Amino acid sequence: MTRLSVELLAADAPEPITSAGHAQLGIAVLAGIAVIVLLITRFKLHAFLALTIGSLALGAFAGAPLDKVITSFSAGLGSTVAGVGVLIALGAILGKMLADSGGADQIVDTILARANGRTMPWAMVLIASVIGLPLFFEVGVVLLIPVVLMVAKRGNYSLMRIGIPALAGLSVMHGLVPPHPGPLVAIDAVDANLGVTLALGVLVAIPTVIIAGPVFSKYAARWVDVPAPDRMIPQRPSEDLEKRPGFGPTLATILLPVVLMLARALVEIVVDDPENGVQRVFNVIGSPMIALLASVLVGIFTLGLPAGFSKERISGLVEKGLAPIAGILLIVGAGGGFKQTLIDSGVGQMILDISEDWSVPALLLGWLIAVAIRLATGSATVATISAAGLVAPLAADMSTTHAALLVLAIGAGSVFFSHVNDAGFWLVKEYFGLSVGQTIKTWSVMETI
C-alpha cells in the first residue's frame, strides 16, 4: 500500500453511523466490551451470541440507528469470514490429512526425538518465527496449532509452555519484521528504508520473542495449567497404514505455503512493478488462499497416496476435517463484526482527533496512537495504517535509522493487548480451549510484552 493509498483511505472513509461526541463514544466502547465479557463469564453465553449482542449494545450506547449497526456488524462478519474463513477451512483439511496419513505423527515424533523438555519451547519459537515471517497471523495459527497441540499431548508438556512460544514467534513477526504486510505498509507510509527496518526489526525481534515466548511461558504455565483440548487434536489413525509419509515430504508440504508467500514478498520488493508479468504471477500463487490450496493438493500426493488412501477416503477426509471448525468460524467472524461496528461508529477517528493535541516525541506518539487504535478497534492493520498515516509528516526530517525505528514503534503498538474485539483473541481461545479470563492472562499478556 502506497502513501497515496493510505491518504485516499482516510479521505474515502465512510461517514460514522452516529454523531455521538467523544465522551459518549468512549462510554459506548466500554459498555460494549463489558456486555461481551459479562455475558460470556457470568451467564456462560456462547461467544458468538455474546459478540453479536455486544455489538448491538455498543451501537445503542453510541446512539447509532440499529439498522446501521446491524449492517456494520454483518459487513464486518462477512469480510472477516471471507478473509480468514477459507484459510481456516483449508488449514483444517491439511491438518486432517496430516493426522490421518501419519504425517503429523512423523513431524511430532521427530521433534520429540530431537528436543527435550528444556529445549522444546525454544524449538517451537524458532519454528514459529521462521514460518510466521511472510504469513498473516491467522494463517500461521492454522498451520502451527495442530503441531503445538500434538507436541503438548504426546510429550506431556504444559500447553502454555509449548503454545505461548509459538504464538510469540508469530506475533513478533506480525508486528516488527518485513516482508510481513503490516510493517511494509508502515515503511511505505513514512518512507523508511526497507533494509534498515528489516535489520533493526530482527535486532528488536530476537530479545522480544525470547522474553515473550520461552521466558514468559514459564509463568503462563503456572497461571493457566490446562491440557491440550482433545476435540482440536488431530488423532492418531485408528488403523495401521500401509506406510507413514517421510519427514522430508511432510515438512515440505507444510512449508510450501510459507515458501510461496515469501517468494511473493521477495518478488514484490525486487521487481516493484504491479504491471510486471512475473510479479503478477507471484501475486497469485503467493496469495494465502492459493498457497494453502496448493499445499492441500500437494498433500494428496505426498501424504494421502503414500498412506494408501483411496479417492473416496480422501474425499471423506476433507468432509471430516471441516466439521470441527464451524464454531470457530462463527466466533472469529463475530469478532470481526464487533471490530467493524467500532470502526463505523467513529472510534478510530476519535482516537486520531484526540491524539492531534498530544505533545510527545514522535516515536512515543506513533506507538501511543497505534496502541489506542488497537485497543479500540482490535485491528492491528487499522492501527498500523492510521498511526503511520498520522505521523508520516513527522518522518520527513528524520534520519534513516530514526524513520525505521518509527516503523517498529508503530508495529509494536499495533499488537498491544489483544482482547475481546480482536478476532485473533477468539481464534487462540477456541483452539486452546481456554476461558476468556485464561486467554487474557496468557495470550493478552504475551501480546502486551
Q: How far is CA 139 from the centre of its chain?
A: 7
pLDDT (mean) for 260-281: 85
- With helix as H, strand as E and coil as C, how does 56-76 read? HHHHHHCCCCHHHHHHHHHHH
Q: Is the pLDDT of residue 11 over 60?
A: no
pLDDT at 213: 95
Q: pLDDT class for 441, splitting at 50, 70, 90?
A: very high
* DSSP designation for 276: -
Averaging pLDDT over each range in 97-101, 214-218, 384-388, which range is the top one? 214-218
**HSE value, Cβ hemisphere, 13 Å, CA-based, for 187:** 21
Confidence of residue 134 (pLDDT cuts 50, 70, 90): low
Do 246 and 106 form a contact (C-beta atoms < 8 A)? yes
Residue 119 φ/ψ, nearest 5 degrees: -95, -10
User: What's residue 365's pLDDT?
Assistant: 86
Tell me, what's the pLDDT at 287?
83
Does the pLDDT value for residue 75 go beyond 50? yes
Q: What is the pLDDT of residues 384-401, one digit of tens each?
A: 877 887 787 778 788 989
pLDDT at 135: 62
Coil, strand or helix: which one is 356? coil
DSSP state of 40: H
Specify the pLDDT at position 371.
92
Residues 6+ apart with CB under 8 A from 383: 369, 370, 371, 373, 374, 377, 410, 413, 414
**Vertex 388 angle, CA 384 and 390, to 5°:** 125
Q: Which set of grid coordinates corresponds to residue 440?
A: 487474557
Q: What percent of the chain is predicted at pLDDT more than 70?
A: 92
How far apart are alpha carbons 263 and 259 in whole angstroms? 6
pLDDT score for 179: 63
> pTM surpassing 0.75?
no
Q: Report helix angle 247-271 to 277-285, nearest 10.
A: 140
- The answer on pLDDT for 117 being more than 50 is yes
DSSP string, 414-434: HTSS--TT-HHHHHHHHHHT-
| 36-49 tens-digit pLDDT | 878 877 888 888 89
Q: What is the extent of the structural domain holding 205?
A: 3-448
Banded pLDDT at 14 (limits 50, 70, 90): low
Q: What is the average pLDDT across 341-365? A: 79
Alpha-helical (H) ranges within 300-379 are 311-322, 326-344, 347-355, 362-377
The pLDDT of residue 155 is 83
Tell me the C-alpha distance between 300 and 285, whole Å: 18
Q: How confident is the model over 69-97, as a mean pLDDT?
A: 85
Angle at which helices 194-210 and 159-176 cross, to 10°: 160
Residue 21: count of CB within 10 angstroms of its CB: 12
pLDDT at 237: 53
Residues 309-330, mean pLDDT to the nearest whole number? 83
Among 243, 200, 263, 262, residue whose Cα is nearest residue 105: 243
| Total number of domains constituting the chain | 1
- Rounded Cα gap, residues 117 and 115, in angstroms: 7
